[in-house]
Structure 1
Amino acid sequence: MNALDELITDWLNLPDVALQLDLEVSRVRRLIEDGELVSVRRGDPEVRMVPAEMLTENGIAPHLQGTITLLRDGGFDDVELLTWLFTEDETLPGRPIDQLRKGQRGEVRRRAQALAL
């Protein structure tokens, strides 16, 4: 998990995600199952954690679900997906997650589709 630790410094456990989104924890689990959020197991003991930057003050980052779907359809597992979303891309500029948080999906989706081929 070291590669993700370098890319993502702020993680939320599922109860904290639920609190931030004003939902029950069971609904957060459903969001993860439905591909609206991505979680990985971290810590000791291992618990499911979500990168905090997948959330904004208004809820889940815009266009995140569609991007997750594209990458998963292209064969990305959750660690690969998170690595791609949180890796700097000078041509965007910034990281794909930053673009999605700003509501800029076009170029991010084009790149995700190209990777998925």
Structure 2
Amino acid sequence: MSSDPSSEPPLAEVDLASLVPEWIDWAEAARRLEVTVAKVRTMIRDHELAAAVPAPGAGQQLPADFIVDGLPVKGLPGLLTMMHDNGYDDREIIAWLYLDQDFPGRGIDALLENRGSEVKRRAQAMAF
């Protein structure tokens, strides 16, 4: 992160298409999770997964990194719930997870490396 936060766009305006390396649609998410598309919709609504429109006209999709070995990445559902409770929407949360933070690296990398408590602490600090 740069030392001048005012020079960075708000999370809601970040270009998600260029930030997230691979997006999957709800049908592919359902296939990877071995559930129905309706269940994927429920998981997004219940903050077990997050989805956003990565580019105009693309339709809602999920970062492929959110599903590992047939399950939501460990720590993601709790993080999503906490951030939603603090007023962030899915688009902002996805942007935050994929922007280079002081973890070291990106929040998504910390989750994938089972360092979720570190990500959660930083997300909690953002609420204050």
TM-score (norm 1): 0.89
Specify the alignment match of 2:71 in structure 1: 59
**How far did residue 102 of structure 1 move?**
1.8
Matches within 5 A, 1:12-31: 12-31=24-43
User: 2:62 is matched with which residue?
Assistant: 50
Contact 1:73 1:116 in 2 (8 A): no
Q: 1:11–1:51: 8 Å Cα contact kept in structure 2? A: yes
Partner SS state of residue 100, structure 2: coil
- Aligned twin of 1:4: 16
1:46, distance to aligned residue in structure 2 (A)? 4.2
Structure 2 CA distance for aligned equivalents of residues 27 and 83 of structure 1: 24
Fraction of identical pairs, as percent: 33
Q: After the TM superposition, which residues 68-83 of structure 1 pair with which residues of structure 2 at under 5 Å, given as runs?
A: 68-83=80-95
| 1:116 equivalent in structure 2 | 127
8 Å contact from structure 2 (residues 32, 70) kept in 1 = no
TM superposition score normalised by structure 2: 0.82
Q: How many residues align?
A: 116
